[in-house]
Amino acid sequence: MLILASASPRRRELLGLLGIEFEVVPSEAEEITEGPPAEVVVENALRKARAVAAGAGESLVLGVDTDVAVGGRLLGKAGDPDEARSHLRTLSGRDHEVLGGVALVRSGEEATEVVSTTVTFRELTDDEVDAYVASGEWGDRAGAYAVQGLGAFLVERVEGDLSNVIGLPIPTLSRMIASLQNRE
């Protein structure tokens, strides 16, 4: 049995595409926000998975963390509309990295990976930023946008795994699960 240590509806939907039976047990692990971006997302994914695995017996627990890095720093989720505007203006006309930390934990055994996808935003006008923020879609999203929704109009190009940008790098997760099953 796989346990998803996340309440994210996007992750549930993507995991469902794999046809794997899973249970959702949101993690209450405290996340870090400072440090090298790739290390932060892997550490947060591990913290989430470990917190749920502590009471999961022999189940395989999946922890995931997604964040946006630009200029070597993490943007995180915007806390309010003004911060969402700031994030979007920062990303406007630039490349940024969407980093996905993936952790699988079972009975003390741990496997982690980090996935990087480059996203390029087109140059955004203030009216476009304001309209997107007014939509509310930015809430609870790394970088204050959702590429699979209205936020698609912000994006000029995606290089790499689109599922990573949405919140769960499916090819990487599939490979990690297969690798664990081969060890059994």
Indicate which residues carry an active-site annotation: 65
Phi, psi of 129 (to 5 degrees): -60, -45
Contact 75, 17 (CB under 8 A): no
Can you give the C-alpha Rg of the chain in angstroms?
A: 16
- Give the SS3 label for residue 71: coil
Cα-Cα-Cα-Cα dihedral sign, residues 101, 74, 145, 25: positive
Q: Which of 177, 184, 183, 182 is nearest to 18 (CA)?
A: 177
- Work out the number of other CB atoms within 10 angstroms of the CB of residue 131: 13
The token pair at 22 is 């899973």
